[in-house]
């Protein structure tokens, strides 16, 4: 199990207790918990340390700063050595009790078992509505189908973990990449609980960053949109100029807006290319608890 944590000190002991109970019930499997501290500013790392002291099946990595949820998940996936890995949020919004059912499906041969949110408790109307609309928009624009209403709470077979760990994509959008691989995917449904303590660590800014990443990495539709938009504005301007016999109509402010939008979208893709060319690591590990993985893609 990989648990990305950003300022989760308040909830972590509770999360650990519930995860441990579930792991104890999975007697047929050899399990380990990997906490990834994504540069928390609170006591998260201390809490992780004390949990690791009490329990043998805990490993942890501390990232040098806040690299974001996707990078934290990736760090955990690279640490993990299991035949299957479950990524789960630290705030108990994803019920760990679902893991045995996911593991059973994995045993039946599914490479990916995603957990679909049937309902979302205790989240703002804005969050629910924007997530609902976003996943559908992304699905329409992407050239492959995406599991709707799922987050990163899912079980991934070793094959998928290796593909992700070695993808080398600096703007990796995990959910999108997993569907892009196209391996057999099953899903289980659940009602998403409210966060058990603390507040959402996904600020509006982080939500926007994640959705930009999802859109840009999964689709060139936004880029294509700029072509159509440009063509439409040009055609409109030409038509108006022809009807009114006035060439100045070509320089309407609307054209400026379309141009600015177009430039912005091109710029976003350029930014992604720039990040990729820079080739910096996805994150930097500052500290490790419980030793380094013996197997797995990131092992020396």
Question: In the complex, which residues of this chain contact Mg ion (CB under 5 A)?
Answer: 91, 93, 195
Asked if 76 interacts with ligand UDP (CB under 6 A), we say: no
Q: Report the nearest approach of Mg ion to the CB of residue 94 (Å).
A: 8
Residues 228-257 that bind ligand UDP (CB under 6 A): none
Stretch of 87-95, 137-145, 157-165, 287-295 lying at the interface with ligand UDP (CB under 6 A)? 87-95
Structure-block tokens of residue 42: 């609170």
Candidates 161, 201, 216, 293; binder of ligand UDP (CB under 6 A) is: 201
Give the number of C-alpha atoms closer than 13 A to the C-alpha of residue 159, restricted to the C-beta side. 10
Neighbours of 160 (CB within 10 A): 21
Shortest spacing between CB 247 and ligand UDP, in angstroms: 51
Q: Radius of gyration of the chain from Cα atoms?
A: 22
Partner interacting with residue 6 (select from Mg ion, ligand UDP, none; CB below 5-8 Å by kind): ligand UDP
217 binds ligand UDP (CB under 6 A): no
Q: Which is nearer to ligand UDP, 78 or 201 (CB)?
A: 201
Q: Is 115 helix (H, G, I), strand (E, B) or coil?
A: strand
Residues contacting ligand UDP: total by CB under 6 A: 18
Pick one of 38, 157, 185, 282: the residue that binds ligand UDP (CB under 6 A).
38
Minimum CB–partner distance for residue 91 and Mg ion (Å): 4
**What are the distances in angstroms from CA 279 to CA 162, 171, 212, 246?**
19, 11, 20, 51
| 134 near ligand UDP (CB under 6 A) | no
**Long-range CB contacts (< 8 A, 24+ apart) of 260-263?**
261/226, 261/229, 262/226, 262/229, 262/230
Taking the least distance from each CB to ligand UDP, the nearer of 201 and 213 is 201
From residue 2, give the alpha-carbon distance in Å to each of 32, 76, 99, 250, 265: 9, 5, 12, 56, 34
Sole binder of ligand UDP in the list 6, 45, 110, 173 (CB under 6 A) = 6
> What residue is closest to Mg ion based on CB?
93
Q: Residue 131 or 261: which CB sits closer to ligand UDP? A: 131
Of residues 32, 89, 185, 282, which one binds ligand UDP by CB under 6 A? 89
Closest CA to 19 of 40, 34, 8: 34
Rounded Cα–Cα distance for residues 34 and 101 (Å):
20
Provide the 10 A C-beta neighbour count for residue 297: 17
Contacts of 188 (CB under 8 A, 6+ apart): 98, 101, 102, 105, 113, 114, 115, 116
Q: Backbone phi, then psi, for 147, in 5-degree steps? A: -65, 125
Which CB sits closer to Mg ion, 49 or 93? 93
Tell me: does residue 32 bind ligand UDP (CB under 6 A): no
Contact criterion met (CB below 8 Å) for 150 and 228: no
Q: Does 4 sit near ligand UDP (CB under 6 A)?
A: yes
Cα-Cα-Cα-Cα dihedral sign, residues 300, 103, 186, 98? negative
Partner whose footprint covers residue 173, from ligand UDP, Mg ion, none (CB < 5 to 8 Å by kind)? none
Q: Select the binding partner of residue 202 from ligand UDP, Mg ion, none (C-beta < 5 to 8 A, by kind).
A: ligand UDP
User: Using the rule CB under 6 A, is 8 a contact of ligand UDP?
Assistant: yes
Q: Does 5 bind ligand UDP (CB under 6 A)?
A: yes
Q: Footprint of ligand UDP on this chain (CB under 6 A)?
A: 4-6, 8, 38, 66, 68-69, 72, 89-91, 93, 195, 200-202, 206
């Amino acid at each position: 199990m990989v648990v990305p944590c950003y300022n989760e000190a308040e909830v972590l002991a509770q999360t650990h207790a519930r995860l441990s109970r579930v792991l104890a019930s999975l007697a047929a499997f050899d399990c380990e918990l990997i906490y990834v501290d994504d540069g928390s500013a609170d006591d998260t790392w201390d809490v992780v340390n004390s949990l690791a002291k009490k329990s043998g099946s805990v490993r942890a990595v501390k990232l040098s700063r806040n690299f974001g949820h996707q990078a934290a998940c990736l760090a955990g996936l690279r640490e993990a050595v299991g035949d299957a890995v479950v990524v789960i949020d630290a705030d108990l919004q994803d019920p760990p009790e679902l893991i045995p059912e996911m593991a059973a499906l994995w045993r039946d041969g599914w490479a990916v078992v995603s957990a679909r949110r049937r309902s979302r408790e205790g989240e703002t109307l804005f969050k629910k509505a924007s997530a609902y609309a976003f996943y559908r928009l992304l699905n329409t624009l992407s050239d492959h189908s995406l599991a709707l209403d799922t987050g990163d709470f899912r079980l991934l077979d070793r094959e998928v973990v290796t593909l992700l760990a070695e993808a080398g994509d600096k703007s990796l959008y995990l959910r999108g990449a997993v569907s892009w691989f196209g391996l057999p995917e099953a899903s289980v449904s659940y009602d998403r609980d409210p966060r058990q303590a603390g507040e959402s660590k996904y600020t509006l800014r982080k939500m926007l960053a994640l959705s930009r990443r999802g859109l840009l990495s999964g689709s060139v539709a936004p880029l294509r949109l700029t072509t159509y938009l440009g063509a439409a504005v040009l055609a409109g301007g030409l038509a108006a100029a022809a009807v009114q016999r006035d060439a100045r109509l070509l320089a309407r402010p609307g054209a400026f807006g379309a141009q600015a939008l177009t430039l912005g979208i091109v710029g976003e893709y350029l930014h992604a290319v720039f990040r990729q060319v820079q080739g910096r690591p996805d994150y930097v590990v500052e500290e490790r608890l419980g030793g380094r993985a013996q197997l797995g893609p990131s092992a020396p």
